Amino acid sequence: MSKAPTELSEQRIKNALHDIFGFSEFRPNQKEIVTAILSGRDAFVVMPTGGGKSLCYQLPAHLMDGTCLVVSPLISLMKDQVDAAVENGLRAAFLNSSQDAGERRAVLNQLRRGALDLLYISPERFALEGFSDLLASCHISFVAIDEAHCISEWGHDFRPDYLALGSLTKTFPDTPITAFTATATMKVQEDIVQRLNLRTPLRVRASFNRPNLYYAVQQKNDANRQALRFITDHRNQAGIIYRTTRKSVEATAEFLIKNGIRALPYHAGLDDDVRAKNQEAFNRDEVAVVVATIAFGMGIDKSNVRFVIHADLPKNIEGYYQETGRSGRDGDPACCLLFFGYGDIPKIRHFINQIEDEPERRRAERSLQDVVNYASAHACRRRQLLGYFGEQFGHAPCGNCDVCAGKVERTDATRDAQIALSAIVRTGQRFGFGHVIDVITGAETDRVRALGHDTLKTYGVGADHSRPYWRRVLDNLLAQGLAGLDDGEYPTLQITEQALPVLKGQAQFFMSEAQAEIRPRRRKTTAATPVSDGGPLFEKLRDLRTTLAKKHSVPAYVIFTDTTLRELAIRRPTIPAQLLQIHGIGARKREQYGDQVLAIIRRHIESDS
């Protein structure tokens, strides 16, 4: 069953926004999306992590008759998502394999009775035979597909079970189908819309810019000790460290624990119960750091992650952007730190070379080059990330990355750039990295001699530097747009028009060297995200939050975010009505926790007087 569009006054929508979520205003794009869903229109939304996607479907789910069906890829996160919705006063449940038969029957009975605003299911559940028929017999208000990039084979996290969702428009011909993702190139975006058969959807592509995130790259030497130094400087802050292998995850977690850091590992090789327990401990602030493979964190709702460290080179920009986006969801400053070492590149290339499908292998190679360009270029990190997704960043410098903050030293490498560019030109712009470096370093190979390249003026000119150094020069030329790769089966290096001034000695060429200090910029104070933490009162309120979270068996951020606690500590409300003026406190949370919060604030004020 489906339903007719819901016509509601703007004031009723705004009242629900405040009463349920404790917000006085919508964030950018939210109102437009909510209005489209209420009017019965399909929607496709690309919105960065922390941009408020869940509100876009939870608010209309509260306002509309029937149940919103939410398709979410990880059952390990559904309980947290449901707990957060219930804490806000929504009628929510999940249906997955972690429940016994009796629990699943109880949820289905709620669905049939129309007693749910939200039902979370996995794509695998939807694909089960007969399940879509069951849904068709119920009152479904609309469908929200989270992590929608999983349906695209062009995306970085393709999930075959998502393909079954293409039948939704046939099962529910008069019901809005909405799709949400935090990361999608234009090609992936078009693929998602087509595969889901969305019908002239509202398309919202929010800015990918996360102004509160500080992006930095450090030269990698000893990743474990580098991570320890950073965490020691940011003690008691929540963070995630990503590593590429299970072995390195275990080693880093063990190293941190031995050095007094509350850390836990997370990877697919752990038992399901252990993985779930470790994730829950992190969500509930029982440990500060999780060391994980990329299996950890899809859709994670923890709002107070203050840093994400990539201790190994990511495979692609999409994954890197999404993983860094798990920090700073509350809008407060957070740091995204990448340890970049050229030694990581051969390891990734080894796996790329195992890919049998030639087009897929070329895509993987290009994706790796994009990451290397990002890490090695002396250019604003934010501008590079946004440019990858087709967004122009007009503010230069951004002021909140290591390059723009002056934390990256520039080395004049003009002469070496001229050598590399000359070698590319003199070999006919028909060869890849390996052969060009062979010529520069004077390698005595059969191929070099057969082609006569040992007679070129550039042959052996760069023998005083190592092969990895010249690879770094070439990577920087690519990153800064002075060289490019063609799209052939075996990509070859070519120079661009921008290279001519450098080649002719009319312009300089610089390479970067990251410094050690990482200091994210503090944002300006606003009512919603004050810079001060409120001192001792903030700590007292945080202790209360921990107690309440344990009592209700939910993550601490589900009770109150750090942003809400800071505002409470600074504004110090003393009567119930004032609580509703605090960002993130609606009618439900005032009713549940207001008396305890006010009691702590009053006692603190009395002890100060």
Number of domains within the chain: 4
Q: 516: closest CA among 211, 310, 233, 239?
A: 233
Task: Evaluate if residue 288 carries a pLDDT over 80.
Answer: yes
pTM assigned to the model = 0.75
Average of per-residue pLDDT across 529-536:
54
Asked if pLDDT for residue 531 goes beyond 70, the answer is no
- At residue 486 the predicted structure's pLDDT band, cuts being 50, 70 and 90, is confident
Give the pLDDT confidence score for residue 512 in this predicted structure.
73
Which three-class secondary structure state does DSSP give residue 404? coil
- 398, with CB counted inside 10 A (0-12, 13-18, 19+), is buried
Same domain, 422 and 379: no
pLDDT score of 71: 94
515 found inside a domain: no
CATH at residue 576: 1.10.150.80
Of 384, 348, 246, 301, which Cα lies nearest the Cα of 72?
301
Best-predicted range by mean pLDDT (62-66, 318-322, 523-527)? 62-66
User: Would you say residue 519 lies in a domain?
Assistant: no
**182, 236: one domain:** no
- pLDDT attached to residue 273: 87
CATH no. for residue 111?
3.40.50.300
Last residue of a domain, one of 205, 232, 249: 205
| Mean predicted lDDT score pLDDT of the chain | 88
pLDDT given for residue 261 in this prediction? 95
**Strand-pair partners of 71:** 121, 145
Token reading at 119:
């039902």
Residue 558 included in any domain? yes
What local confidence, expressed as pLDDT, does residue 523 receive? 42
Name, in order, each residue with C-beta under 8 angstroms of 15's C-beta and a sequence gap of 6 or more: none
Q: Are residues 388 and 446 in the same domain?
A: no
Domain of 457, CATH number, reads 1.10.10.10
pLDDT band of residue 513 (cuts 50, 70, 90) is low
Asked if residue 68 and residue 184 are part of one domain, the reply reads yes
More confident call, 158 vs 196: 196
303 and 451 share one domain: no
Q: Which of 62, 52, 80 is nearest to 15 (CA)?
A: 62
Identify the domain boundary among 393, 409, 425: 409
- What pLDDT band is residue 300 in, cutting at 50, 70 and 90? low
Evaluate if residue 42 carries a pLDDT over 50: yes
Whether residues 386 and 244 share a domain: the answer is yes
Kindly state whether residues 405 and 459 are assigned to the same domain: no
pLDDT band at residue 520 using 50, 70 and 90 as cut-offs: very low
Burial category of 424 from C-beta neighbours within 10 Å (exposed 0-12, middle 13-18, buried 19 and up): buried
Q: Is residue 359 part of a domain?
A: yes
> Quick one: pLDDT at residue 521?
44
**424-466: pLDDT as tens digits:** 999 999 999 899 999 999 999 999 999 999 999 999 999 999 9
Could you tell me if 93 and 176 lie in one domain? yes
How would you label 502-520 residue by residue, b for 16+ Cβ within 10 Å and e otherwise? bbeeeeebbbbebeeebeb
Q: Identify the CA nearest to 261 among candidates 269, 253, 272.
A: 253
Name the phi and psi angles at 575, rounded to 5: -130, 155
Residue 297 has a pLDDT of 57
Where residue 257 falls among pLDDT bands split at 50, 70, 90?
very high
DSSP 128: S
Report yes or no on 521 lying in a domain: no
In a 3-state reduction of DSSP, which class is residue 608? helix
Which amino acid type is present at position 498?
Q
Give the pLDDT band of residue 530 (cuts 50, 70, 90). very low
Q: Is 67 found in the same domain as 84?
A: yes
Q: Is residue 430 part of a domain?
A: yes
Q: Are residues 316 and 237 both part of a single domain?
A: yes
93 and 217 within one domain: no
| Residue 518 belongs to some domain of the structure | no
Segments of 85-126 assigned E as strands: 92-95, 118-121
Containing structural domain, residue 386 = 213-409
Query: 3 and 176 in contact (C-beta within 8 Å)?
Result: no
User: pLDDT above 90 covers what percent of the chain?
Assistant: 56
Residues 314, 188, single domain; the answer is: no
pLDDT in tens, 490-510: 778 999 999 999 999 999 998
Q: Which CA distances in Å does 302 have to 31, 60, 298, 299, 501?
A: 24, 23, 11, 9, 49
- Looking at the predicted structure, is the pLDDT value of residue 151 above 50? yes
* pLDDT value of residue 362: 85
Tokens of 378: 């002396």
The larger pLDDT score, comparing residue 401 to residue 480, is at: 401
Domain end position, chosen among 508, 528, 544? 508
